[in-house]
Structure 1
Amino acid sequence: MFKRKLAFYVIASICAATAPVLSAQTAAATPPMGWNSWNHFAGKVTDADVRAAADAIVSSGMRDAGYIYVNIDDTWQGQRDAQGVIHANSKFPDMKALADYVHAKGLKIGIYSSPGPKTCAGYEGSYGHEEQDAKTYAAWGMDYLKYDLCSFRKIMQQESNGDPQKAFDMEKAAYQKMNRAIEATGRPIVYSLCQYGWNKVWEWGTDVGGNLWRTTGDISDHYSRMEEIGFAQAGLSKYAAPGHWNDPDMLEVGNGGMTADEYRQHMSLWAILAAPLLAGNDLSKMTPETLSILLNKEVIAVDQDAMGKQGDRVSAVGPNEIWAKPLSGGAKAVALFNRAESPLPMTLHLSEVGFEENAKLRDLWAHKDVTASDGSYTVVVPRHGVVMLKITP
């Protein structure tokens, strides 16, 4: 079985194109953090929107908190020239200049394509042009590629003649082909597989070069969809490790479709899951409340913990769930989630997450230390809310 060489990882710098390369083991050593254009701008995204996002990441303090990728999603593509080289459309008049602008902010930039002839929005895909496109992305200075299955599904259906194993093999080969093309450029590009969790991608994503892979269908800015996706990640923790992450899709924080408590639950669950933290809102128009959620450095530290362990469900009783994530130094992050329609008291017994009575507890949203009593901690958790603790021996 083909085994990919991990893509090199480059430290964010003022001139990312010439930044020093670290060892291969540090490629996406922690879940990628940044911003993606799709959730808010979708097909309307422009060069100006991406520049504004880069500006806002810096001015808001998000860059300093770890958000470094500025990722362009679908609808940037124009036509191919006579030699087959892809060009951006009129919304993106100079992709290299845009990449240089983002890099000058100490950030990285990402782009989007598909192994099929067309992207999900009907724009030009990479089918038959994988090597050309990888070279173009590298020449532009791209640092991240989201590769979305889209129209390649039709090719799989047509050429497999209904044989699911043949279709599966075609899918893996398509992702592997672009990975090899990326590696051949010599440029460090984080590789994000987007195929909605089909065929248990978490079991083979690493083999085809993935640094992260979508485990679900698309998220939306509704609590019911966020909880459906997020809590369905139970049982996948063993497939995540430094350089290779389960991806339950982008953040919706700040897009307006959920309450502050629901967004805090969203952010907390993604942190427990060691998920990529890719904001999907309009960064140029954030409220203080939105910023306080996205910039909670104690919660971000859970997601970015160097141990690289994904958390998992500890217990579920009715609408109340307890999840835990191992952290460096013997600590754990423990989240008490209330999925009910009203506030409810929840009790955590320290023994059920592996701690003794004298363990130290810190509430990561209240930013204060709290105290257990007789080996347990009881707290009222808001409707669709969370209490997130860091517990230290």
Structure 2
Amino acid sequence: MKIDKLFNYTIVFVALMSVFNPVATKAQDTLSKYILTPKPQPAAKITGPKVFGVRPKHPIVFTVTATGTRPITFSATNLPAGVTLDALTGKLSGSITKAGAYTINLHAKNNIGSSSRQFKIVVGEKIALTPPMGWNSWNIYGDRVSQEAVMANAKAMVNSGLINHGWSYMNIDDAWQGKRGGDFNAILPDSSRFPDMSGLVHEVHNMGLKIGIYSSPWIETYAHRIGGSAMNPAGTFEPVKVNVPRREKKIPYAIGKYIFAENDAKQWSKWGFDYLKYDWNPIEYPETKLMYDALRKSGRDIIFSLSNSTPYRSIKELSTVSNAWRTGGDIRDTWESLSARLFTQDRWAPYARPGHWNDPDMMILGYVGWGKTPKPTRLTPDEQYTHVSAWALMSVPLLLGNDLTKLDEFTISLLTNDEVLDVNQDPLGLQATTISKRGETGIMAKDLENGSIAAGLFNTGDTTTTVTLRWPDLNIVGKYIVRDLWRQKDLGTFVNSFPASVNKHGVVLISLRKADE
């Protein structure tokens, strides 16, 4: 996995040009050695999370996903009363009145083979029982997001096959807002950018995906759009001049006297949104609880994600009324920004649990741009493996921040490795913590539901080095089979330790399962 830095600047260009240039196609072929993820087998195989949470009487929005040659037909046994499964699309729908855990047997079949899996629907107060997986508009479009862009990326999520691996949320970030109005005096979309919000939500749902929205309890958002409060009872809003220094914007960057949390939540529920990114600083409990209650009363399950830089001193309280929270500031596509999030998240780990997730920010893979000319990420491929591996181990939301219409084969391989994604989606919901740190190397590990252990051997230094996982650091003894999760193959049986050569800024991601004595 030793990779020249020039690779990550050229791969997308090669991917785009290969259609028109046979020389480019040949060049792309020479890069295939950097792709570690095996291609999915043609037989139908169920993927994605193994557990799903929904509140009593709320609509179920979930698509059973599978890899394999299409067409694939889906079926299930032990479906609870009120729940149906579409055989062609895999969409689960309906609602369940009585709280409890319902175990379903899912089946997927094509003309080559079939697979089955137990799937649990937990009806109660907890939602987001595994970290959300999807896309957010900010890191590519910034404040230039539009309905057309969201729709194009939703189609790319489907056409690229990412949807078949559990990627589902299409989240609209800041700058969609127009002004207040409508049945609820809620924020309505800027019609020049989002001419048909209801239609967009409907189309995204019809694709088997979910969709999210953005807001803030402030009077004005970071993108100088209307927020969730105002200084007048009508909620009218006039943006300040963009070039005014923020320190002089005492009124806009503050919470107004009049709060419209319930108005907005009712509108989002009516449109059919499934996710809310709520963005301001400092994040405090009163406005968090207010929006949590508004979402809970909306009649729809809407994941509630706090941004940005959640104060650690308040996380115990805040984590009870939110599904995810940013543990720091905005990420950028540099090694410095990424590496600052490695081995620094352990203190947050006690608050990570099913339904509640730490969030070190969105992913910086593929084409990014923040509203400017899109460009390939500045991360080297080794750094991208580190990025995905760390986010998987830490059980944090996987929200892509790139242009999905410009996906290349390397980026697709990073996002479609089901063994790696399963580490993130493990039903135990444990966040990996640092079990060993020696100089510029470190190891993060966590237990998995199936009794195995996932571990990442990281090298943050500038030269290739050997990183050794020692059994005492895991509190285990005896023989263990070590599996390379990226290559999806067993490496052998080891006793007491496992050494690996790790590239600079790279990782070796493994699992360990007890061997027969």
Stretch moving more, 383-392 or 247-256? 247-256
Q: 1:300 to 1:200 in 2, by over 3 A?
A: farther
8 Å contact from structure 1 (residues 315, 323) kept in 2: yes
Aligned to 2:267: 136
| Alignment equivalent of 1:112, drawn from 197, 214, 218 | 214
8 Å contact from structure 2 (residues 480, 495) kept in 1: no
Once residues 264 and 295 of structure 1 are traced to their aligned partners in structure 2, the CA distance between those partners, rounded to angstroms, is 13
Letter in 2 for 1:388: L
Once residues 445 and 314 of structure 2 are traced to their aligned partners in structure 1, the CA distance between those partners, rounded to angstroms, is 23
For residues 20-169 of structure 1, the aligned pairs below 5 Å read 20=95, 23-24=123-124, 26-81=126-181, 84-89=185-190, 90-127=192-229, 128-150=259-281
Aligned to 2:465: 344
Once residues 92 and 212 of structure 2 are traced to their aligned partners in structure 1, the CA distance between those partners, rounded to angstroms, is 13
8 Å contact from structure 1 (residues 9, 26) kept in 2: no
Stretch moving more, 178-187 or 353-362? 353-362
Once residues 9 and 360 of structure 1 are traced to their aligned partners in structure 2, the CA distance between those partners, rounded to angstroms, is 42
Stretch moving more, 351-360 or 270-279? 351-360
**Structure number having the greater strand percentage:** 2
Once residues 186 and 15 of structure 1 are traced to their aligned partners in structure 2, the CA distance between those partners, rounded to angstroms, is 24
Once residues 19 and 96 of structure 1 are traced to their aligned partners in structure 2, the CA distance between those partners, rounded to angstroms, is 20
Once residues 352 and 122 of structure 1 are traced to their aligned partners in structure 2, the CA distance between those partners, rounded to angstroms, is 49
Stretch moving more, 245-254 or 75-84? 75-84
Aligned to 1:160: none
Question: For 1:260-283, what per-residue CA distance to the aligned partner results, in whole angstroms no more than 9, with x for missing partners?
Answer: 110110111111110011111111
8 Å contact from structure 2 (residues 59, 300) kept in 1: no
| SS of residue in 1 equivalent to 2:278 | strand
Q: 1:71 to 1:17 in 2, by over 3 A?
A: farther
Instruction: Report how far residue 229 of structure 1 moved.
Output: 2.2
| SS of residue in 2 equivalent to 1:330 | coil
Letter in 1 for 2:143: G
Stretch moving more, 340-349 or 109-118? 340-349
| Alignment equivalent of 2:304, drawn from 186, 191, 203 | 191
Aligned to 2:286: 173
8 Å contact from structure 2 (residues 54, 301) kept in 1: no
8 Å contact from structure 1 (residues 15, 104) kept in 2: no
Question: For 1:171-208, what per-residue CA distance to the aligned partner results, in whole angstroms no more than 9, with x for missing partners?
Answer: 2110111111111211111111113122434322233x
Instruction: Report how far residue 16 of structure 1 moved.
Output: 8.0
Instruction: Report how far residue 372 of structure 1 moved.
Output: 4.8
| SS of residue in 2 equivalent to 1:299 | helix
Aligned to 1:213: 325
Once residues 9 and 315 of structure 1 are traced to their aligned partners in structure 2, the CA distance between those partners, rounded to angstroms, is 44
Instruction: Report how far residue 25 of structure 1 moved.
Output: 5.0
Q: 1:218 to 1:372 in 2, by over 3 A?
A: same
Aligned sequence identity (%): 39
- Work out whether 1:240 is the aligned partner of 2:362: no
8 Å contact from structure 2 (residues 59, 94) kept in 1: no
| Alignment equivalent of 2:336, drawn from 221, 224, 228 | 224
Aligned to 1:334: 455
Instruction: Report how far residue 84 of structure 1 moved.
Output: 3.4
8 Å contact from structure 2 (residues 215, 277) kept in 1: yes
Instruction: Report how far residue 26 of structure 1 moved.
Output: 5.0
Once residues 371 and 26 of structure 1 are traced to their aligned partners in structure 2, the CA distance between those partners, rounded to angstroms, is 40
Once residues 264 and 335 of structure 1 are traced to their aligned partners in structure 2, the CA distance between those partners, rounded to angstroms, is 11
Instruction: Report how far residue 103 of structure 1 moved.
Output: 0.2
| SS of residue in 2 equivalent to 1:271 | helix
Stretch moving more, 73-82 or 361-370? 73-82
8 Å contact from structure 1 (residues 16, 103) kept in 2: no
Instruction: Report how far residue 374 of structure 1 moved.
Output: 4.2
| SS of residue in 1 equivalent to 2:358 | strand
Alignment gaps of 5+ in structure 1? 154-167
8 Å contact from structure 1 (residues 230, 270) kept in 2: no
Instruction: Report how far residue 215 of structure 1 moved.
Output: 0.9
**Structure number having the greater helix percentage:** 1
Once residues 342 and 197 of structure 2 are traced to their aligned partners in structure 1, the CA distance between those partners, rounded to angstroms, is 34
Once residues 364 and 314 of structure 1 are traced to their aligned partners in structure 2, the CA distance between those partners, rounded to angstroms, is 19
Q: Structure 2 length as normaliser, TM-score?
A: 0.68
Aligned to 2:99: none
Once residues 212 and 374 of structure 1 are traced to their aligned partners in structure 2, the CA distance between those partners, rounded to angstroms, is 38
Instruction: Report how far residue 17 of structure 1 moved.
Output: 11
Larger radius of gyration: 2
Instruction: Report how far residue 236 of structure 1 moved.
Output: 2.0
Instruction: Report how far residue 9 of structure 1 moved.
Output: 7.9
Alignment gaps of 5+ in structure 2? 1-52, 64-88, 97-120, 230-258, 368-376
Instruction: Report how far residue 355 of structure 1 moved.
Output: 3.0
- Work out whether 1:10 is the aligned partner of 2:122: no
Q: 1:105 to 1:388 in 2, by over 3 A?
A: same
Once residues 9 and 247 of structure 1 are traced to their aligned partners in structure 2, the CA distance between those partners, rounded to angstroms, is 26
Q: 1:45 to 1:79 in 2, by over 3 A?
A: same
Letter in 2 for 1:174: E
Q: Structure 1 length as normaliser, TM-score?
A: 0.89
| SS of residue in 2 equivalent to 1:289 | helix
Once residues 181 and 53 of structure 1 are traced to their aligned partners in structure 2, the CA distance between those partners, rounded to angstroms, is 29
Aligned to 1:359: 480
Instruction: Report how far residue 319 of structure 1 moved.
Output: 0.5
Once residues 265 and 272 of structure 1 are traced to their aligned partners in structure 2, the CA distance between those partners, rounded to angstroms, is 10
Once residues 123 and 391 of structure 1 are traced to their aligned partners in structure 2, the CA distance between those partners, rounded to angstroms, is 49
Q: 1:125 to 1:347 in 2, by over 3 A?
A: same
8 Å contact from structure 2 (residues 218, 227) kept in 1: yes
Once residues 310 and 175 of structure 1 are traced to their aligned partners in structure 2, the CA distance between those partners, rounded to angstroms, is 24
8 Å contact from structure 1 (residues 220, 252) kept in 2: yes
| Alignment equivalent of 1:203, drawn from 287, 296, 316 | 316
Once residues 494 and 452 of structure 2 are traced to their aligned partners in structure 1, the CA distance between those partners, rounded to angstroms, is 19
